[in-house]
């Protein structure tokens, strides 16, 4: 139902009451009083009575209405105050949140810089580790070279001793055959020493270039020579090389490191007796190198991890776990692929593929 506005209600009630009062009160009076004089007098009282009652009613009506209005106003004011307070509070809240965000942002910025520094640090460490691993393989290398060199030096020493005796005794001419052997030994000794030193130079070559001519068979043979003193006579080496030379573009020193690392792992995996088979193949686009050992093998669980930096199953001091991580990186730099297949207890096959 539509609410009728107060002023209409008031005017309407007044009209209605007034009309009813005039009509009925006159009728009532004229029906009980017949004296005109008394009637007139009473009419005056009636008028007064009417005015007073309506005034009182008006007063009560308006008062009631105004009170309501005032209450509403007060309530409104109340609400307004409350709202203001709430807004103030929310604003304060927002400001503090904002401040907090700002602080957090600052912290994030700080962490970001720290992270950047750490990254630089890590890169630094990585290059150090690369160097360390190179030094570690150098350790293998020097031990290997010392042993390798001692053999040709033995020839040279033997030849010298023999030749010197003949020289002292002036017995060269009567010992043709022997002197021939001695001179040959001298020659072989020097040639082998030279080839060992050449191999050493190749390995330690500190070139950054990836455009050197790399003769893979030569590099593999060199790496085997370097590892000679790690090889006990219980390990046989089988070479199944492609008929032609294989030359790829790359870094000679780094490729030596690749084969020393892989072959050394194979040697270390052969606990008692076994063999290492190295095969090379060429197809239209790729060079394939497979190094297969009959060592202890790698578990399925570990095979995914072998190239992870620091992953090692060797005793502390025996392996850094960096060998294959570095090998992997070097092969990647040559756009090559490194893969492992292994049967636990039976052996491991390392496959390398280089683009031709």
Partner 1 sequence: MIRKKKILYVDDEKINVQLFQINFSNSFEVLISCSGMDGLLLLDKNLDTEVVISDMKMPEMNGLEFIGKAKGKYPNKRYYILTGFDITGEIQHALDNKLILKCLKKPFNLQEIERILNE
Ligand X SMILES: Nc1ncnc2c1ncn2[C@@H]1O[C@H](COP(=O)(O)OP(=O)(O)OP(=O)(O)O)[C@@H](O)[C@H]1O
**Contact footprint for Mg ion (CB under 5 A):** 265, 323
185 binds, among Mg ion, ligand X, partner 1, none (CB under 5 to 8 A by kind): partner 1
Answer for the pair 345, 271: CB distance below 8 angstroms, yes or no: no
Q: Which two tokens stand for residue 148?
A: 């390798």
Quick one: which of 17, 181, 337, 349 contacts partner 1 (CB under 8 A)?
Answer: 181
Measured from the CB atom, the residue of 25 and 151 that comes closer to Mg ion is: 151
306 binds, among partner 1, Mg ion, ligand X, none (CB under 5 to 8 A by kind): ligand X
Measured from the CB atom, the residue of 36 and 271 that comes closer to ligand X is: 271
- Of 215-274, which residues contact partner 1 (CB under 8 A)? 229, 232-233
Stretch that binds partner 1, among 178-186, 253-261, 304-312, 343-351 (CB under 8 A): 178-186
269 binds, among ligand X, partner 1, Mg ion, none (CB under 5 to 8 A by kind): ligand X
Q: Is 185 in the site for partner 1 (CB under 8 A)?
A: yes
Angle of helix 36-169 relative to helix 216-226, nearest 10 degrees, comes to 80
Answer for the pair 356, 287: CB distance below 8 angstroms, yes or no: yes
Calculated CA dihedral for residues 214, 218, 221, 223, nearest 10 degrees: -30
129 binds, among partner 1, ligand X, Mg ion, none (CB under 5 to 8 A by kind): none
- Of 134-153, which residues contact partner 1 (CB under 8 A)? 143, 146-151, 153
Stretch that binds partner 1, among 161-169, 241-249, 279-287, 336-344 (CB under 8 A): 161-169
Binding site for ligand X (CB under 6 A): 147, 151, 192, 228, 261, 265-266, 269, 293, 295-298, 306, 311-314, 319-325, 348
Which positions ≥6 away from 247 have C-beta within 8 Å?
A: 213, 214, 215, 216
Q: Is 158 in the site for partner 1 (CB under 8 A)?
A: yes
DSSP secondary structure string for all residues of 187-204 = HHHHHHHHHHHHHHHHHH
Quick one: which of 123, 154, 299, 335 contacts partner 1 (CB under 8 A)?
Answer: 154
Answer for the pair 261, 321: CB distance below 8 angstroms, yes or no: no
Rounded Cα distance between 316 and 330, Å, is 25
User: How would you classify residue 347: left for phi > 0, otherwise alpha for psi between -120 and 50, otherwise beta?
Assistant: left
Least gap, CB of 182 to ligand X (angstroms)? 17
State the residue for tokens 């720290």.
Answer: 114
For 339, list phi and psi in degrees, rounded to 5.
Answer: -135, 150
Least gap, CB of 272 to ligand X (angstroms)? 14
161 binds, among Mg ion, ligand X, partner 1, none (CB under 5 to 8 A by kind): partner 1
Query: What's the angle, vertex CA 222, arms to CA 150 and CA 130, rounded to 5?
Result: 105
Whole-number Cα distances in Å, 13 to 20, 21, 267: 10, 12, 118
Under DSSP, the state recorded for 345 is T
Q: Which two tokens stand for residue 36?
A: 């005109």
Q: Which two tokens stand for residue 82?
A: 């409350």
156 binds, among partner 1, Mg ion, ligand X, none (CB under 5 to 8 A by kind): partner 1
Least gap, CB of 306 to partner 1 (angstroms)? 28
229 binds, among ligand X, Mg ion, partner 1, none (CB under 5 to 8 A by kind): partner 1
Measured from the CB atom, the residue of 155 and 354 that comes closer to Mg ion is: 155
A 10 A CB-CB count for 189 gives 21
- Which parts of this chain interact with partner 1 (CB under 8 A)? 143, 146-151, 153-159, 161-162, 165, 178, 181-182, 184-185, 188-189, 229, 232-233
């Amino acid at each position: 139902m539509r609410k009728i506005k107060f002023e209409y209600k008031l005017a309407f009630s007044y009209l209605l009451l007034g009309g009813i009062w005039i009509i009925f009160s006159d009728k009532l009076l004229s029906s009980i009083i017949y004296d005109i004089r008394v009637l007139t007098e009473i009419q005056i009282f009636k008028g007064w009575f009417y005015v007073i009652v309506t005034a009182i009613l008006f007063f009560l009506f308006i008062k009631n209405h105004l009170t309501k209005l005032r209450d509403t106003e007060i309530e409104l004011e109340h609400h307004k105050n409350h709202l203001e307070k709430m807004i103030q509070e929310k604003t304060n809240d927002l400001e503090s949140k904002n401040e907090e965000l700002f602080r957090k942002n600052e912290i994030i910025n700080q962490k970001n810089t720290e992270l950047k520094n750490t990254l630089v640090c890590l890169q630094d460490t990585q290059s150090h580790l690369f160097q360390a691993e190179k030094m570690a393989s150098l350790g293998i290398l020097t031990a290997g070279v010392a042993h390798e060199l001692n053999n040709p030096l033995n020839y040279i020493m033997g030849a010298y001793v023999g030749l010197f005796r003949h020289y002292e005794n002036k017995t060269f001419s009567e010992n043709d055959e022997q002197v021939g052997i001695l001179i040959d030994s001298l020659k072989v000794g020097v040639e082998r020493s030279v080839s060992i030193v050449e191999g050493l130079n190749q390995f330690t070559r500190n070139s950054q270039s990836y455009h050197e001519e790399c003769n893979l068979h030569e590099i593999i043979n060199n790496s085997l020579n370097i590892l000679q003193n790690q090889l006990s006579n219980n390990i046989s080496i089988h070479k199944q090389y492609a008929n032609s030379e294989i030359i790829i573009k790359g870094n000679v020193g780094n490729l030596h490191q690749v084969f020393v690392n892989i072959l050394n792992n194979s040697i270390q995996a052969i606990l008692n007796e076994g063999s290492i088979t190295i095969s090379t193949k060429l197809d239209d686009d790729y060079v394939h190198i497979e190094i297969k050992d009959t060592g202890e093998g790698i578990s399925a669980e570990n095979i995914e991890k072998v190239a992870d930096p620091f992953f090692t199953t060797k005793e502390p001091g025996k392996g850094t776990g960096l060998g294959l991580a570095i090998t992997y990186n070097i092969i990647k730099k040559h756009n090559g692929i490194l893969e492992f297949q292994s049967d636990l207890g039976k052996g491991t096959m390392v496959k390398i593929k280089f683009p031709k």
